[in-house]
Amino acid sequence: MPIGDLLYACVECRTEGSLRRAKRGEVCDRCGTRYTRADGALIRCERPGQEPEVKHPAEWLDHLHEQPLHHPATTAAVTLRCASEYKPYTHAGVLLGFIEELGPPEEGTLELGPESIVFRSATGERRWPLDALTAVQPTTGTLNLKVRNGPLIALRFRTGSPLLWEERVKNAIQERFAAAGRGDIAEYLPRIVCG
Amino acid sequence: MRVNGATPFKGAPRWEYDLYCRLVRTAWKAAGGSLHVSGLENIPPEGPCFLIPNHQSYLEPLLIASVVPRMVHPMAKSGQFAMPVLGRLLSRVYGFPVRRHQVDAQAARTALRRLASDAAVMIFPEGERTWDGRLQPFRIGVLRLILKVGVPVVPVRVDNAYDLWPRWERLPRPGPLHLTFKPPLHFPKLERRSERTRAAVDDVRRQLSAALAGPLDQRGL
């Protein structure tokens, strides 16, 4: 869902993850608001019974940030892959760097608690304390988390938006830092650094 | 010039590199796109330098490399090197990987080695494509690397790439893409870590932000 990757909730009814692909664009399955791409990267929003409104994605995102979501999801269906090892990458006999080797995929649900991130699957439960995270790295479809002295965790979202979950995880880590008197976080990549 | 006795890197010969560049430009035109380039004279014709563009889409890394009259050595995310064909091609055209989720000393070392061999190294200081078209915060590590070597820094302002291929869209809509190579910025060479103070890093950030800010950022959106 191209637009749904950016707009993690309907701008009209503020329901999270409600955009579904339709014959033309994407439609909120709660209030029927339709989203289509207009000129360039502009997004046209057609609320039922109202004139269409065209705005830049930055403006729509700001609009979403203005008010809290209705019934925000507390869990998301994800596919987890972990990378514990890094393979040297060479070309013509010269070491260029290292690349991560991701392990097999595992499907489950993700839950963000006040102290940790929990992944539950058929094989059991894995818990990563927020204090142990050293980096938060979003890609278009996945959210990558690095655990101190631990693996790189790649979470591909089957429901929910990685963009929204990135914000949630960052906010949760920031709250932990603030509570511990460690100040504001300046950046989350390549490692979490306070300003 | 060599760093720490490093083996000089052997990539594609000049004719092959030029062929890839021509292929990229031809494919972009054939797909209906156009390229509007200005300021190429601002790129030092030889010697080490950084090319520092803003990152709006997957288009500009290819298109910038295809128009620059000298070979460009791009730093690219490590995941792309895990793909067999793309990884080999990237390293053949002088790309090298960086792990974005941890401090990657090897990526910094590779960049330093390339600069020591008088290369033009391209790094996207935002570290990822923008989601909403706005300029994102720069990675502190890139700003420190700039200060560590003190070579000319050419900011490359990319315009309209986000409108052609926003991050949330699967495929691009070819159209006009604008690349502006700004006059090089010069920063002092601060080899010692203790010299690279917050004030020095902030100065690099401020000058780069001014050079790379686009209409959206200037409107304060």
- Cross-strand pairs, A20: A27
- Nearest CB among A40, A97, A191 relative to B78 is that of A97
Question: Which of A81-90, B34-43, B45-54 comes out lowest in average pLDDT?
Answer: A81-90
Q: Are A124 and A112 in contact (CB under 8 A)?
A: no
- Nearest CB among B97, B160, B169 relative to A96 is that of B97
Confidence of residue B3 (pLDDT cuts 50, 70, 90): very low
- Rounded to whole angstroms, the Cα distance separating B156 from B143 reads 15
Per-residue pLDDT tens digits for B183-210? 999 999 998 989 899 899 999 999 999 9
- Rounded to whole angstroms, the Cα distance separating A152 from A155 reads 10
Look at residue A185 in the predicted model and tell me its pLDDT: 93
Look at residue B183 in the predicted model and tell me its pLDDT: 98
Count CB neighbours of A36 within 10 A: 17
Look at residue A1 in the predicted model and tell me its pLDDT: 60
- Rounded to whole angstroms, the Cα distance separating B12 from A188 reads 36
- Are residues A94 and B164, on separate chains, in Cβ contact within 8 Å? no
- Are residues A86 and B99, on separate chains, in Cβ contact within 8 Å? yes
Residue of B nearest to A163 (CA): B131
- Min Cα distance B205 → chain A (Å) is 13
Positions in chain A short of pLDDT 70: 1
Look at residue B148 in the predicted model and tell me its pLDDT: 96
| Tokens encoding A180 | 């511990």
DSSP SS3 for A134: strand
Chain B CB contacts of A89 under 8 Å are 78, 81, 87, 91, 97
Q: Say whether residue A100 is in contact with chain B using an 8 A CB cutoff.
A: yes
- Rounded to whole angstroms, the Cα distance separating B43 from B155 reads 10
Which strand (E) or helix (H) includes residue A55? strand A53-55
Three state DSSP letters for chain B: CCCCCCCCCCCCCHHHHHHHHHHHHHHHHHCCCEEEEECHHHCCCCCCEEEEECCCCCHHHHHHHHHCCCCEEEEEEHHHHCCHHHHHHHHHCCCEEECCCCCCHHHHHHHHHHHHCCCEEECCCCCCCCCCCCCCCCCHHHHHHHHHHCCCEEEEEEECHHHHCCCCCCCCCCCEEEEEECCCECCCCCCCHHHCCHHHHHHHHHHHHHHHCCHHHHCCC
Per-residue pLDDT tens digits for B91-102? 999 999 999 888
Its pTM stands at: 0.92
- Nearest CB among B78, B139, B160 relative to A99 is that of B78
- Are residues B97 and A40, on separate chains, in Cβ contact within 8 Å? no
Q: What percent of chain B has pLDDT over 90?
A: 84
Q: What mean pLDDT is reported for chain B?
A: 93
Confidence of residue B220 (pLDDT cuts 50, 70, 90): low
Alpha-carbon distance values, B83 to A35, A191, B140 (Å): 34, 25, 28
Q: Which is nearest to A11 in space by CA: A69, A71, A56, A58?
A: A69
Interface of A with B in 2-61 (CB under 8 A): 2-3, 5-6, 37, 39-41, 56-59, 61
- Are residues B81 and A97, on separate chains, in Cβ contact within 8 Å? yes
Q: Say whether residue A132 is in contact with chain B using an 8 A CB cutoff.
A: no
Look at residue B6 in the predicted model and tell me its pLDDT: 55
- Are residues A140 and B168, on separate chains, in Cβ contact within 8 Å? yes
- Rounded to whole angstroms, the Cα distance separating B21 from B64 reads 9
DSSP SS3 for A26: strand
- Rounded to whole angstroms, the Cα distance separating B187 from B194 reads 16
- Are residues B131 and A89, on separate chains, in Cβ contact within 8 Å? no
User: Per-residue pLDDT for B158 more than 90?
Assistant: yes
- Nearest CB among B6, B110, B141 relative to A97 is that of B110
Confidence of residue B5 (pLDDT cuts 50, 70, 90): very low
Q: Which residues contact B23 (CB under 8 A, 6 or more apart)?
A: none
Q: Say whether residue B176 is in contact with chain A using an 8 A CB cutoff.
A: no
Interface of B with A in 56-95 (CB under 8 A): 78-79, 81-82, 87-88, 91-92
Per-residue pLDDT tens digits for B75-118? 999 989 999 899 999 999 999 999 988 889 999 999 999 999 99
- Rounded to whole angstroms, the Cα distance separating A156 from A81 reads 8
- Are residues A187 and B170, on separate chains, in Cβ contact within 8 Å? no
